[in-house]
Amino acid sequence: MEDASGLFCYNRVFWTYVPMIATLRSTGTLLALAWMAHAAPRAAPKSWSVAVADSIISRNPGTPRDRLARWSYVTGYTLNGIEMVARSTGDPMYWDFIKRVMDQFIDEKGNLKGIRFENLDNTMPGNIVVGLYERTHEERYRTAATEIRQTFDRFPRNSDGGFWHSQSLPGEMWVDGVFMGQMPLIRYGHSIGDAEYCFNEAARQITSFARHALKGSSGLYYHAWAEKPELPVVIGSHRPPTPTHWADPKTGLSSDVWSEGLGWYSLILAETLAVMPKDHPRRGEVLGIYTRLAAGLKRTQDPKSGRWFQVVDKGDRADNWTDNSGSAMFTYSIERGIELGLLPQAEYGPVVSKGYRGIVENAKVNDQGLVDIYSACEGLCVQASYDAYINYPKAVNGNEAVAGFLWATAIVEKPAARKAK
């Protein structure tokens, strides 16, 4: 598959699920699941977050064909959700799974095994590496996390300091990359060190994107911006450079406000505010971006389904459809803001309730007892038009949709999970 960014986007979608029923988890035989193969379709589970976390574990039993057998933002994003379930349930099995997956990539001395950081996507798993250091205090995780932190010192930037999304995409700043890059930085600064750099960098990347990609006074943001749209995109030595065809030649902006892209931004805003020092000089600026975005999301939520549209601000178009992946991200972000005291419960609690009900409507327990997620795309890169976003193929159990669903259900169900401990 190729689109505006050729081989880069191909790499995003190369790995797909190979559904299988696992009888082993990282610490041994913990639960026999073979009976599920002949089970009838199931009713909704008591806890969607636990059900989808268990489904992810069942589909990743530790083979080279597992979806999580590859170092990628998908692995990091998914394991962050597993971590949330580990914390809310107190079940160490989930931490064992996280450790088993990540230890594929980190040797006993903390060296990363053949990992390259040619794009911001590949830095995202650094967040969960820091999480393993927080839990185990094993020095090798600190070593690996520090190597990831240091990659930012060499990463190419635009004139105002905004990171390119990839070294092969000169001048391009994608909203996806703001999330991917800042997730490891903010956790490293919070838990390991170099806090001044980490939070200053996070603020710079967040505000740089906001300055360039804001759509009018909506509080919403376009998918991407190119500082110099005339610059070539290099997509392999065997191919001639091609221009950034998705970018408006005057503004450098992409065509639309894409649900999942805006979802990435909503997540990093909430997660940054969760750990950024209260006295950081740019915290107020980041908070303002977040609260205006939340207001824009409240305004554009589909009142019928509780979800948000694939192109967020064009829900009045007949061919637009509600995207479960971005909707899950928004549900998480707004609930996180309520939890942190950044958004009023009375105003935004109903938004979360409707969002939660909406996303679980697109989740089904299949005849194997595993959760499937519908109505979302997979590996979508920057598109050149509204039609391209709307007509991009949907996938059952898209990478991002599964992880986003896990994040959203984990935070909404957290109070009940803690009571059940």
Q: For residue range 262-286, what is the model confidence (pLDDT) as tens digits?
A: 999 999 999 999 999 999 999 999 9
Alpha-carbon gap, residue 228 to 79, rounded angstroms: 36
Q: For residue range 29-85, what is the model confidence (pLDDT) as tens digits?
A: 333 333 333 334 578 999 999 999 999 999 999 999 999 999 999 999 999 999 999
State the total domains in the chain: 1
Single-letter amino acid code for the residue at 241: P
**Residue 363 belongs to a domain:** yes
Does residue 232 carry a pLDDT above 90?
Answer: no
Check residues 349 and 31 and name the one with the higher pLDDT. Answer: 349
**Residue 2 belongs to a domain:** no
CATH of the domain at 204: 1.50.10.10
Q: Is 342 helix (H, G, I), strand (E, B) or coil?
A: coil
**Residue 260 belongs to a domain:** yes
- Closest-CA residue to 382 (of 218, 175, 230): 175
Does residue 181 carry a pLDDT above 60?
Answer: yes
**Residue 378 belongs to a domain:** yes
Give the Cα-Cα-Cα angle 373, 74, 38 (nearest 5 degrees). 40
**Residue 359 belongs to a domain:** yes
> Residues 360-377: what's their mean pLDDT?
98
What is the rounded average pLDDT for all residues in the chain?
A: 90
Q: What percent of the chain has pLDDT over 90?
A: 84
Range of the domain at 339: 7-420
Backbone CA torsion sign across 304, 356, 391, 371: negative
Residue 37: burial class (beta carbons within 10 Å; 0-12, 13-18, 19+): exposed
- E-assigned strand segments in 294-395: 308-309, 322-323, 363-365, 371-373
Secondary structure element (H or E) that encloses residue 56, with its range: helix 48-59
Say what the pTM is. Answer: 0.90
Long-range contacts of 30-37 (CB under 8 A, 24+ apart): 30/93, 33/58, 33/369, 36/368, 36/369, 36/370, 37/368
**Residue 1 belongs to a domain:** no
Report the pLDDT value the prediction gives residue 17, as an integer from 0 to 100: 35
